[in-house]
Amino acid sequence: MQGYANAFRDEEVQAAITGGLIGTIAVSTLLWADASVPTQPGQWFEISNADDAEVFAQSLERTQRRVQGGTGIGAGVAEAIRMLDRNGFDGLRQIVDVSGDGVETPPRQTVIEMPQARAMAEARGVTVNGLAILNEMPYLDRWYRTHVITGPSAFVMMAANFRDFQRAIKRKLLKEIRGLPDV
């Protein structure tokens, strides 16, 4: 959470937000774990200046992770898409940012898994991007490319480990906010 908070405090990220087509973004968080465990959604924030970014960063720092267990990426993505559907904002793009350090683990009950979550995103025109933390799985980025990302200009970035996360999430946010194509 500190990596995200620091990224939103970064002047370059703030400039990307304010310099965009409408000069503002709406952002929220969703913490998830095992697909059978309820997710932990955050509130939505509209960021259009440094003060707004600071309020969001402070909210991130106060967030305590209450979910534990396996890795239910599909259920997390599906809930994030539902949050986009209900957020009250009319954005030009809708993006789900999946950051994690493992592949989807087999569910203990019937839940939404990544194939269904990707189809849900595609049907709604939502882009799902990934940030694979390679700490324990050096080829996780390949799994994310095959199983997680979808949508217009979807991409995967990598963090070598948790210490590298802050650098990687800043780069990822800049790419998502600016909406620049790969070259």
Give the model confidence (pLDDT) of 101-116 as tens digits.
999 887 777 778 899 9
pLDDT tens track for 78-93:
999 999 999 999 888 9
- Higher-pLDDT residue of 183, 180: 180
Residue 83, CB-side half-sphere exposure with 13 Å CA sphere: 23
> Is residue 181's pLDDT more than 80?
no
Contacts of 146 (CB under 8 A, 6+ apart): none
Nearest to 30 by CA among 12, 42, 21: 42
Q: How far apart are CA 104 and CA 72, in angstroms?
A: 5
- Higher-pLDDT residue of 110, 127: 127
pLDDT exceeding 70 applies to what percent of the chain? 97
> Is residue 100's pLDDT more than 60?
yes
pLDDT bracket for residue 11 (50, 70, 90): very high
Contacts of 34 (CB under 8 A, 6+ apart): 67, 68, 69, 70, 71, 72, 105, 107, 108
Average pLDDT value for the chain:
92
Q: Which residue's entry shows tokens 């999946």?
A: 98
Cα 158 from chain centroid (whole Å): 13
Q: How far apart are CA 171 and CA 180, in angstroms?
A: 12
> Is residue 183's pLDDT more than 60?
no
pLDDT bracket for residue 71 (50, 70, 90): confident
> Is residue 67's pLDDT more than 80?
no
Do residues 146 and 117 lie in contact, with contact meaning Cβ atoms separated by under 8 Å? Answer: no
> Is residue 37's pLDDT more than 80?
no
